[in-house]
């Protein structure tokens, strides 16, 4: 791609470093900015810079936060003995949206994935094990994605805390609400039968 | 969407102002930036700002440029009597890539589209008509997209310069190279027969 301006070329190149944004999309976005008022581009670039420079990670759960201890961890109404282990900040947001969990979180920052060069020491696992061993935790809920990497990560953590005499659980796998059985995959359908729940408890929900 | 950080929220909101980028995509991009070195975000935000503040439009053809008169307009090897009228900077790049045009361009900056509130005075039409009336132009090639708005824009310009005694042409519409006839739409196929060209001139290409 030949550019008539070095400034344009640099902006397109930087923009296309982002995942899922190729050169053509980057060019479309950058040309759109040129048609909008200068203030919009200024606001975007300032927001990105101050976010990148000033954002903190909660020292307890590693969630993104503006202060040292995030809002969830510092909320006295939440049950600090139950910890939900998630991969990512987005998973905290997704679970918070359901309003069905009143404990705390622990954000690992990814999952163990040797193929991508991510080992246990690249994740926030040590601080979790430390928290459990300190004895303040009664239950650990594993809420990682149901993939080979997620299962590996769950098991790696489980091995390290299994002697700590706490409850460990994992979120239920089964047919999504509203889904039809004939389109469900075999493994999910099989698990949903093996792990069936009393009918009375399903109608309470 | 509930955010655990105001800085994150602001960055996501600004990012999702861009066309085709929703809140979820913006969050994914912003979280990606947080995992990359700070320098990358800094480079992006600086490139966007300096592009938006310093980029110029060529005073002759309105193409994006770093200097007053763009590289194409200031190139003495190009034929300045033939002007190719295009909608957008991207069209200049696309035609330049083909290496089949050695004249100059004129970037309109869009097409007449009353539905989107874009009239002739929002586009760089006046300067084009002025250029033609000054008498330096021998041929005008309309290379706008083949839509109702493109045709309207072509015709609007044509009406203003038709007494100037210059050649006007429009890029050929026809079956794309490599396409099969049975999948072509009727209008394109019809035009490609009406505007057939001597076989000898097609095999030269």
pLDDT at B21 over 90: yes
What distance in Å separates the CA atoms of residue B173 and residue A25, rounded to the nearest whole number?
A: 26
| Chain A residues in contact with B19 (beta carbon < 8 A) | 28-29, 32
With H, G, I as helix, E, B as strand and everything else as coil, classify residue A179.
coil
Q: Give the start-to-end residue ranges of the domains of chain B.
A: 6-54, 76-171
- CATH number (2.60.40.10, 3.40.50.300, 1.10.8.420, 1.10.10.10) of A6-54 reads 1.10.8.420
- For residues A70 and A60, is the Cβ–Cβ distance under 8 A? yes
Length of chain A: 205
- For residues B97 and A2, is the Cβ–Cβ distance under 8 A? yes
Q: Which of residues 22-81 of A touch B (CB under 8 A)?
A: 25, 27-34, 38, 40-56, 63-66, 70-72
What distance in Å separates the CA atoms of residue A196 and residue A164, rounded to the nearest whole number?
A: 28
The partner residue sitting opposite B48, judged by closest CB among A31, A41, A65, is A41
Q: B76-171 in CATH: which number?
A: 3.40.1360.10
Determine, for residues B48 and A14 on separate chains, whether the beta-carbon distance falls below 8 Å: yes
Mean pLDDT of B126-153: 92
Enter the tokens of residue A63.
């969630």
Residue B204: pLDDT band (50, 70, 90) is low
Q: Tell me what ipTM this predicted complex has.
A: 0.82
pLDDT value of position A200: 77
- Fold assignment, A71-171: Dna Topoisomerase Vi A Subunit; Chain: A, domain 2 (3.40.1360)
| Chain A residues in contact with B94 (beta carbon < 8 A) | none
- For residues A89 and B31, is the Cβ–Cβ distance under 8 A? yes
- pLDDT tens string B53-74: 999 999 999 999 989 999 999 9
pLDDT value of position B19: 94
Mean pLDDT of A161-178: 88
Mean pLDDT of A170-177: 86
Q: Do domains A6-54 and A71-171 have the same CATH topology?
A: no
The partner residue sitting opposite B55, judged by closest CB among A34, A53, A63, is A34
pLDDT value of position A44: 95
Residue B174: pLDDT band (50, 70, 90) is confident
What percent of chain A is predicted at pLDDT more than 90?
A: 68
Where are the extended beta strands (E) located within chain B? Answer: 56-57, 64-65, 79-86, 103-107, 139-142, 167-170
Please classify residue B159 by burial: count the beta carbons closer than 10 Å to its beta carbon, then call 0-12 exposed, 13-18 middle and 19+ buried: exposed
The residue among A36, A51, A67, A89 with the most chain B CBs within 10 A of its CB, best to mutate, is A51
């Amino acid at each position: 791609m030949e550019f008539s301006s070095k400034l344009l070329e640099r902006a397109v190149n930087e923009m296309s470093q982002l995942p899922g944004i190729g050169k053509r999309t980057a060019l479309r976005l950058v040309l759109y900015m040129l048609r909008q008022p200068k203030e919009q581009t200024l606001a975007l670039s300032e927001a990105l810079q101050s976010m990148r420079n000033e954002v903190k990670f909660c020292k307890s759960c590693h969630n993104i936060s503006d202060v040292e201890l995030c809002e969830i961890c510092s909320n006295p109404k939440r049950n600090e003995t139950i910890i939900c282990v998630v991969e990512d900040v987005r998973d905290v947001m997704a679970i918070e949206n359901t309003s069905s969990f009143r404990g705390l979180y622990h954000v690992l920052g990814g999952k163990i994935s040797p193929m991508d060069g991510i080992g246990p020491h690249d994740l926030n696992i040590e601080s979790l094990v430390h928290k459990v061993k300190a004895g303040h935790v009664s239950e650990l809920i594993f809420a990682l994605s149901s993939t080979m990497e997620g299962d590996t990560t769950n098991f790696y953590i489980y091995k390290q805390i299994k002697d700590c005499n706490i409850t460990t659980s994992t979120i239920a796998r089964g047919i999504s609400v509203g889904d039809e059985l004939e389109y469900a995959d075999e493994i999910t359908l099989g698990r949903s039968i093996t792990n069936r729940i009393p009918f009375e408890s399903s109608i309470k929900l």
